[in-house]
């Protein structure tokens, strides 16, 4: 029998179903990511082809977290940029503080005006393609996080569909040439000898992306595991965040104790599946993984380790976490005015 070939990729050390701890960092809380076979394969292809990975799927399916998990697995630096409707394409390369420069000019601060590092700040792509050249331009708080040169870089461009087509179109040349220029530097950034970053781009598909841009990307659609029911998939994802976990390595944090009992994970999933089916039947956006995890986090925060009380409050709170459409005429089952589920809790007035 011929042994299965192992591709030359740092992602082959990962195994589907394993849970990876995402350590706390500035601006990011400690979290956990459960790897899927599709994620590992798509990242393997994007890494080898040196193409961006475009991740599509419902909100809350872990698209953004995938970039953080990839950076953790590689031991690379993550540079994240969240797109908004007023985002300008050049901001991915650099930002210029025109207000600060105007203030210095009005104050007659000639020495400051001659210093470009005072006004320019590197964007995610500048830092990823030209880490050394970006250092003098970094803000003091960012420079102090970890001055050591990282082994590589992961760039997250989150929710690219929030911008108009100018943004993805502007990336085409950068992705093709893997180099670009920014005004404060005489030499281009990147080039054929620069180690390319891993670029992860997410979309909620609120706006269609240009066909030319899609052709330059590896595309992963985040979706539930086809080998299991949606309910079981939710429970499995919930367990990655709240079930007992061993330490991931001898140097990792200690074994994590169970945070929420399996019965709570199951009941919360069963109610979400029921609500999802009913909401979908009346053509409203259904709740999903994000709402499920929000409810579990709230129950753990409110009543840590108290399974019975968590089960009671699950009955009271699920309508507000799962049913985002308020009161739907003629649809009591998908309205927030419904009775607490499973008779687990009475109204606040009834409970005194």
Determine contact, residues 299/271, Cβ cutoff 8 Å. no
Q: What is the pLDDT of residue 345?
A: 44
Q: CA-CA distance, 297 to 345, in Å (whole number)?
A: 19
Determine contact, residues 19/30, Cβ cutoff 8 Å. no
Neighbours of 318 (CB within 10 A): 27
Mean per-residue pLDDT over the chain, rounded: 86
Q: Which of these, 264, 259, 202, 203, lies nearest to 234 by C-alpha position?
A: 264
Low-confidence winner among 76-90, 159-173, 322-336 (lowest mean pLDDT) = 322-336
Pairing of strands 120-122, 153-158: unpaired
Asked whether residue 292 carries a pLDDT value surpassing 60, the answer given is yes
> What would the pLDDT profile of 37-85 be if each residue is shown by its tens digit?
999 999 999 999 999 999 998 877 889 999 999 999 999 999 999 999 9
| Those residues with Cβ within 8 angstroms of residue 75's Cβ, 6 or more apart along the chain or in another chain | 150, 151, 152
Q: Can you give the length of the chain in residues?
A: 352
Handedness of CA 176, 6, 76, 256 (dihedral sign): positive
Determine contact, residues 234/322, Cβ cutoff 8 Å. no
Q: What is the pLDDT of residue 157?
A: 97
Q: What is the pLDDT of residue 7?
A: 64
pTM confidence score: 0.84
Q: Where are the alpha helices (DSSP H) in the chain?
A: 37-49, 63-74, 98-106, 110-113, 124-129, 131-134, 140-143, 166-177, 211-215, 230-242, 262-281, 289-302, 307-322, 348-351
Q: What is the pLDDT of residue 312?
A: 92
Determine contact, residues 72/20, Cβ cutoff 8 Å. yes
Q: CA-CA distance, 293 to 260, in Å (whole number)?
A: 12
Q: pLDDT band at residue 121, thresholds of 50, 70 and 90?
A: very high
Asked whether residue 295 carries a pLDDT value surpassing 80, the answer given is yes
Domain boundaries, the chain: 10-222, 230-351
Asked whether residue 216 carries a pLDDT value surpassing 50, the answer given is yes
Neighbours of 278 (CB within 10 A): 16
Q: What is the pLDDT of residue 237?
A: 92
Q: What is the pLDDT of residue 4?
A: 62
Neighbours of 92 (CB within 10 A): 23
Q: Which is higher by pLDDT, 140 or 239?
A: 239
DSSP 28: B
For 121-125, what is the mean pLDDT? 95
Q: What is the pLDDT of residue 349?
A: 37
Q: What is the CATH number of domain 10-222?
A: 3.40.50.300
Q: What is the pLDDT of residue 191?
A: 85
Q: What is the pLDDT of residue 5?
A: 66
For 120-142, what is the mean pLDDT? 90
Determine contact, residues 178/192, Cβ cutoff 8 Å. yes
The secondary element (H helix, E strand) that includes residue 222 is strand 218-222
Q: What is the pLDDT of residue 233?
A: 93
> What would the pLDDT profile of 243-257 be if each residue is shown by its tens digit?
988 766 545 566 788
> What would the pLDDT profile of 262-278 be if each residue is shown by its tens digit?
999 999 999 999 989 88
């Amino acid at each position: 029998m011929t042994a299965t070939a192992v591709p030359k990729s740092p992602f082959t050390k990962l195994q589907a179903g394993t849970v990876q701890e995402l350590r706390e960092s500035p601006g990011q809380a400690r979290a956990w990511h459960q790897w899927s076979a599709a994620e590992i394969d798509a990242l393997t292809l994007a890494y080898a082809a040196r193409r961006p990975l475009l991740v599509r799927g419902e909100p809350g399916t872990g698209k953004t977290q995938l970039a953080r998990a990839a950076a953790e697995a590689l031991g690379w630096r993550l540079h994240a940029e969240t797109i908004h409707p007023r985002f300008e394409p050049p901001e991915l390369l650099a930002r210029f503080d025109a207000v600060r420069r105007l203030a210095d000019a009005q104050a007659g601060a000639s020495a400051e005006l001659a210093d470009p590092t005072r006004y320019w700040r590197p964007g995610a792509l500048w830092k990823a393609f030209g880490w050394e050249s970006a250092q003098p331009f970094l803000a003091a708080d960012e420079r102090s996080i970890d001055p050591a040169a990282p082994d590589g870089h992961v760039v997250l461009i989150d929710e690219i569909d929030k911008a108009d087509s100018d943004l993805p179109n502007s990336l085409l040349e950068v992705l093709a040439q893997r180099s670009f220029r920014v005004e404060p530097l005489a030499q281009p950034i990147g080039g054929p000898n620069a180690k390319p970053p891993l670029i992860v781009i997410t979309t909620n598909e609120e706006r269609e992306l240009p066909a030319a841009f899609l052709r330059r990307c590896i595309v992963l659609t985040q979706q539930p595991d086809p080998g299991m029911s949606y309910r079981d998939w939710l429970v499995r994802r919930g367990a990655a965040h709240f079930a007992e976990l061993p330490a991931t390595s001898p140097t990792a944090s200690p074994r994590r104790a169970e945070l929420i009992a399996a019965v709570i994970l199951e009941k919360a999933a069963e109610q979400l599946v029921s609500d999802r089916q009913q909401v979908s039947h009346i053509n409203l956006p259904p709740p999903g993984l994000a709402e499920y995890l929000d409810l579990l986090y709230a129950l753990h925060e409110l009543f840590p380790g108290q399974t019975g009380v968590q089960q009671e409050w699950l009955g009271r709170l699920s309508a507000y976490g799962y049913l985002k459409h308020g009161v739907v005429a003629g649809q009591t089952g998908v309205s927030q005015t419904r009775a607490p589920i499973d008779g687990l809790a009475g109204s606040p007035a009834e409970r005194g």
